[in-house]
Each structure stands twice: as C-alpha cells, then as structure tokens.
Structure 1
Amino acid sequence: MCLLTSLDARVYPFIDPSPLFAAKTFASKVVLVTGASRGIGACIAQHFARAGASLALVARNETLLNSVKAGIEQEVPDAQVLTLTCDVRNSAQVSKTVASTIEHFGRLDVLVANAAVILPFGIPLGEVDPDAWWETFEVGLRGVFNFIHFAVPHLQKAGGCVVAMSSVGGHLRLPTASDSSVSKHALDRLIEFVPIEYPGVKSFAVHPGSVMTDMALRSNAPVPFDTKPELPASTVLYLASGKGDWLSGRYVSSLWDLGEVEEKFRDAIVEKNALVQKLALP
C-alpha cells in the first residue's frame, strides 16, 4: 500500500497543506482538538489555525494549553482560540466542554480525538497493574466515545467529521503492548459506527506514524521513529477538508501516499469495503 519509505517521512504534494493555509479553507469552521497541549495534538491545532479555523483546545494541563495557545496566536495573530481543561474520561466534564465550545463559537465542525496514554513497554499481562492497563482504554477509547457522544449532534448539523488518532498497533500483536493494541483495535471499530449511525458525519481512524512525542519516549517501545508531527497534522487537515470523504468510516495511515491510494486502490477499497475491521480468509 504506497508506503512512504523514508526514515523521516515528510509531507508530500498530494496532502500539502499550503493551499489550505493560503485559502483559509477552514475560516468559517470550528475545530475541537483533545490532547492539544503538546506533540501531535498541538501540531494539528496549529495547522487548523493556519487554515483559518477557530479552535477549542482541550487537555488536562492548563499551563501547557495556554502555552500552545500563545504559540498559535504568535504565528496566527487573528486566531480565535479557546482553551478548556477536561479529563476525557469524565462524561460530565466532556459534556460541559462541548457545551462551552458551542456557547463560545456557536457551532462545531471537526472533532479531533487525540488524547491518549500508554503503558511502558515490556510488562506482560500477568504482571501489569490492571488499573493502569485499563486506564489506556479509559482515555483512548472511552474518552473518544465521550466526545463523539456529545459532539455528534452538532457535527451532524454542520455536516462535519470526527478524526480519531489510532495506531497501526491496533492491527499488530506486539508482546507486552496489549493495552495499546486492543484499545486501538476497538477504537477503529468505534469510528466505523459514526457514519453508519449518522450518515451526514464523516469519520476517520488515523495512524500518525511513529512520532517522537513525550508519550512515545516514556513507553520505551522498540519501534523506530519514522516521521514528524507535521505529517499526521497534514493528513488530518486533508481528510477534514472533505477531499478524502470516500475514506470515511475507515482506517487511514499517515504513512500511505493518499494520492496513490486514491488512484490505484479506491475502486477496490470501496467495492470490497476494505480498511475496516473484519475477519477474512487468505
């Protein structure tokens, strides 16, 4: 599948965000990003701001959120940025966060569910702290569900979309990484349900590539870093722009050249309903 093979895969022409920046494509749109206080989430927020979007940035750390906001406002002086502290596991807090976004901006067009945690690599099932193992699901699966639940009526009204940050790990069986693998596997299936139950809302489960974030470094997983946050940020911007709507309800990797995917595989993907969770014979 058209894999970008560079050890440092970069943004390629098909998803180049420059035209979206220049045209301020998202000028009338409101984008909510969870896990926005650092790493991939902060980069995604910056990309949307450069493309003209108004932003609701969500995380637990208010200081880091304000730092991201200041950085965006320095680069995009007219950016409209709202920061909201929230524990994505807490449905009452999520409800209030979405309501505050609507109260402030009057609408919601894009939900980027990026918040996640991961356990350190190397601890097998029988030795891991069961509460810590389950926290990966609480943040990375329940947290995504919570935001979809409260955001989807507004997204439906706007004809908007959900982008959830997934992982290729959801399709692997890497020993001692079961918390991440199983939760991302379930997340991919959750994303499939959004356009099934709300046909006017697009959804995408996006593998960002292996990016050197604080969380990735803490996990100590034996996986080489293969890209920088600008690649998944540009991928998310491309999908949210409506150019990749045919991929709605599916798993998408930032490491695929989406231009080649569309040219060579689109018909087969649609015909076979591929890039979704299913059992198949070889």
Structure 2
Amino acid sequence: MAEGPRPPHPSQAQGRTRDGATALAGQVALVTGASTGIGRHLVDGLASRGMAVAGLARNGDRLAAAMDEVTAATGARTLAVAADVTDRAAVDDAVARVREELGPVDLLVNNAGLIDAAEEPLWEADPDQWWAVVESHVRGAFLLARAVVPWMVLRNRGRVVDIASGMGVRARPEYSAYSVAKTGLMRMTEALAGALEGLDVRVFDVAPGVVDTPMTRAMPMWQGFTDWTPPELVVELVAAIAAGELDQWSGRFLRAGADDLAVLRATTPDGAARQLRLQPYGDGDPLA
C-alpha cells in the first residue's frame, strides 16, 4: 500500500475557501451512481472544486459520456469505471483501478441505488425486485466501504458520505424496500463511524431532499411536485464534509436544503441527536 506524496488532508489545508475549493484541490473523490441524477451533479460539482473524480455506474457508455462532459467543462481529471456495486469482485477491481489511476480515495460517496418498481404494499411486491433494491443500497455501500475505508485508515484521512433519505427515518408503506434500505444504510453509517472513532476518517448520512432527477420524476408520489431541492445545495453540503468542516456530525443525518451550513459548522450535536433511536412511550418506559 505504498504511495507517493499526497496533498494535505482537508482538515489540515490552509487558505480554505467557503465552497471548499482550495481545501479540495488535488483530492480524489469516488462517486457511485455517477452517470445520472444526484451522482452526476456531485461529479460535476466536486470536479469544479478541484477534485479528481472517479465515477462508477453500471451503464458504461452513459457513464463515459458523462465523465467526458465533466472533464471538458471543468478541466478536472476524471475516470469512468463501469461496475455493479453489488458485485464484490467488480467493486474491488474498480477501487483498485481508481487508486492506480487517480490515487487513494479521499472522499467516497455511496449514491447508487434502486427504487421500488411500483407503489404497492410489500406483500404485492416482486420478491426479487424488492430484495434487489435493498441490496443496491446496503450491500453496495458495504462493499464500497470495505474496499475504500482500509486505505483511509492506513493514511488516517478520509470522508465517506452515504446518500440517505427521509424514508429512512419515516417509512413510506408504498416504498417499503427503499425505506428498509435507507434505514439499513443509516445503521451502517453509525456503526462505521463508531468503529472509526479517534481517527481522522468520518462518515455521514446526507439526505438530498427531493431533487429533480429521472428517478424522482418516475415516482408517482412526486407527480405535480415543483418545490425541488436545488442540486447545488447537495453539492455544497458534500463539499463541506469533504473539506473537514462538519466533522462533529460524523455518524449523523444531515439534510440538504433544510440544514443551514453556517449553523451546522457552528453546532456540535449532543447524545443521539440526528441518529435513529426508539422514542419512549412515557416516563416509565423501561427502555428509555
């Protein structure tokens, strides 16, 4: 795992700008689900802030076209790596290629994931498609973390962002697979953050809000919806995390478009704030 000289970690960077551009220059990001939607916005936004960005997605042609567009627009180093996030060997090979061609990953964004094929109760769902949704989010993030985090631990620097959802904290019965997947992802984030305590490697849940993407447009529940979360707010939040500005929120849930970055920077959460916990039924609850 030998490596040559690398840029300073974001938390050590000097001359940091508000958008994180100076702090992120020369850093390496790996974004899954990068060819479209939120992932595509993140690739563009991180590249414009000076990061070298590797994009991972299943559709190799669409991904390559997207990454070429980002390079042309930003001048950043990019890399398109076609892989299925649920395929262990493919993920390991993809991460190895990123490391060889761009360098060790400083920021991992687990964004890839499927959605329920139809709005229906779970007993009417196709079992294979239902499970594929859960796998895409939970197994996918697990395999990426398993491949990337050991290198972060070795270098004692890195940030992981798991793209969360409000459905992870309040289940939608018509999207049971997606709700289960996002709740599981939140537990994984907290478990990983706890295992990394004391290291300069941090893990975050970032809910993007309702961004206008092909996925959300395809969901009947958002028909006629117009109050979209600007994707720039998602990028700003992830960039602030990558720049080491929100480290006190590691293992917790943040929401683009609702959370104010200035407030987050100035706030240190206590106890189980922004983490999944049972609510007591009263003062006598034995599990409180």
Q: Answer whether TM exceeds 0.5 for this pair.
A: yes
Letter of the 2:159 partner, please give it.
Answer: C
User: In 2, distance between residues paired with 1:250 and 1:40?
Assistant: 20
- Select 2:190's aligned residue among 189, 192, 202: 192
Contact 2:246 2:264 in 1 (8 A): no
Cα deviation, residue 233, structure 1:
1.4
The SS at the match of 2:274 is: coil
Alignment of 1:142-157 (within 5 A): 142-156=139-153, 157=155
| Partner residue in 1 for 2:10 | none
Cα deviation, residue 142, structure 1:
0.6
Query: What does the per-residue CA deviation read over 1:38-60, in whole Å, with 9 as the maximum and x for residues that have no partner?
Result: 11101111111111111111001
| Partner residue in 1 for 2:260 | 257
Cα deviation, residue 73, structure 1:
1.5
Query: TM-score normalised to the size of structure 2?
Result: 0.85
Task: Note the aligned Cα RMSD (angstroms).
Answer: 1.9
Q: Does 1:175 align with 2:173?
A: yes
Query: TM-score normalised to the size of structure 1?
Result: 0.86
Contact 1:120 1:221 in 2 (8 A): no
The SS at the match of 2:173 is: coil
User: In 2, distance between residues paired with 1:25 and 1:72?
Assistant: 20
Contact 2:202 2:251 in 1 (8 A): yes
User: In 2, distance between residues paired with 1:279 and 1:228?
Assistant: 32
The SS at the match of 2:53 is: strand
Q: Does 1:132 align with 2:129?
A: yes
The SS at the match of 1:204 is: strand
- Select 2:230's aligned residue among 222, 228, 231: 228
Contact 1:110 1:155 in 2 (8 A): no
Cα deviation, residue 261, structure 1:
4.4
Contact 2:32 2:56 in 1 (8 A): yes
The SS at the match of 1:58 is: strand
Letter of the 2:260 partner, please give it.
Answer: D
The SS at the match of 2:19 is: helix
| Partner residue in 2 for 1:10 | none
Letter of the 1:204 partner, please give it.
Answer: F
- Select 2:28's aligned residue among 20, 27, 30: 30
User: In 2, distance between residues paired with 1:262 and 1:56?
Assistant: 27
Cα deviation, residue 121, structure 1:
4.3
Q: Which has the higher contact order (CA 8 A, sep 6+)?
A: 1
Contact 2:91 2:143 in 1 (8 A): yes
User: In 2, distance between residues paired with 1:260 and 1:218?
Assistant: 34
Letter of the 2:95 partner, please give it.
Answer: V
Letter of the 2:218 partner, please give it.
Answer: R
Query: What does the per-residue CA deviation read over 1:194-229, in whole Å, with 9 as the maximum and x for residues that have no partner?
Result: 221123210001100011211112222247453122
User: In 1, distance between residues paired with 2:232 and 2:117?
Assistant: 25
Query: What does the per-residue CA deviation read over 1:108-146, in whole Å, with 9 as the maximum and x for residues that have no partner?
Result: 111011001101442111111011111111111110010
Unmatched tracts of structure 1, length 5 or more: 1-16
User: In 1, distance between residues paired with 2:208 and 2:101?
Assistant: 30
Contact 1:47 1:233 in 2 (8 A): yes
Identity of aligned residues (%): 33
The SS at the match of 1:237 is: helix
The SS at the match of 2:80 is: strand
Contact 1:39 1:229 in 2 (8 A): no
Q: Does 1:80 align with 2:83?
A: no
The SS at the match of 2:218 is: helix
The SS at the match of 1:126 is: helix
User: In 2, distance between residues paired with 1:106 and 1:236?
Assistant: 20
Cα deviation, residue 24, structure 1:
3.5
